[in-house]
Chain A
Amino acid sequence: MASANYPQVETSLLEKVAPVRPPNDLDRCMERYQQADPEAPGTLIYALSPALLRFFRSQIASRQQADDLLQETWMRIHRVRHTYRPGEPVVPWVYAIARRVRIDGYRRTSRIVAHETAVEVLPEVAHREESRSSVPDFETLIAALPEAQREVITMLKVGGLSLEEVARATSSTVGAVKQKAHRAYEKLRTLLQARAEDASGGEQ
């Protein structure tokens, strides 16, 4: 495992990411869902919900709101399950619907706290248990990104979608997704560097 080279990486955290079934299994599961197999909805929900929940959590602050959006997503998926085309990948289809639910939810609920503007420094995090790692966690890191870049990074890194799948889910092109990811990484590098300089300046 590459993570063994980096003592600061906590492998227990990596293990907490729910395993996602291979895409082909999920595609077939969706086909069975359309054919009214009673086990299919539960299989899909348990397979995809952890990543979807993280996708919502990366865009909005509240766990409760993320749970509500997740429920709404599955209800909407149930209503439009006839639009999935057998043979096509189901993951971008699900994420496209989830993305729309998130946008509708944000517009509907004015009290949702959204990270609308990029910030020049990493946001101050509420007091957490002291971690062995000095690197900010994933949510803290990407919270500093503009919404579109944050969405792309979350789909790529947490959802495990490919560039093509992210392009499909966001009704965009592969080139546009690459550009957003590139800008996001550049911004994150800059923010991490500024943070490191502040930390070393403080120690002095």
Chain B
Amino acid sequence: MDNFTPLSGFAGGALIGLAASLLLLGVGRIAGISGVMEGIIKPGGERRDWRLAFLIGLPLGAILVAVPAPELLPHMEVNASWPLLAVSGLLVGFGARIANGCTSGHGVCGIPRMATRSIAATIFYFGSAAATVYVIRHLL
């Protein structure tokens, strides 16, 4: 198991859980990022203030690592071409909102609520993603 980083993985995961918990118990909202994004750009959407604040926090959190502790920053490696990135982005955005949730909304927030929709969604997107990686890395 190359590149396995259990300690930082676990710590980071706990922080993600804490963040989602704060949003739920603090303002009563689900930390589903695709949903937050949809709420911001939806015509006639309301209550944008908490959504914008949450979304702005995401890159700020990364900066909080980059500035004081750049050695903790993961080494970013993007191998996809621009057309592939565009197609990937379209699918991720469209698919997530058709399903009304993604890894954060259905995965992190939905499963602890034992929502069967979220459990089903998670099974399907993990399965689909794993199949995609298999085809790209081992078949093509």
* Bound pair (A, B): no
Binding site for A on B (CB under 8 A): none
A residues engaging B (CB < 8 A)? Answer: none
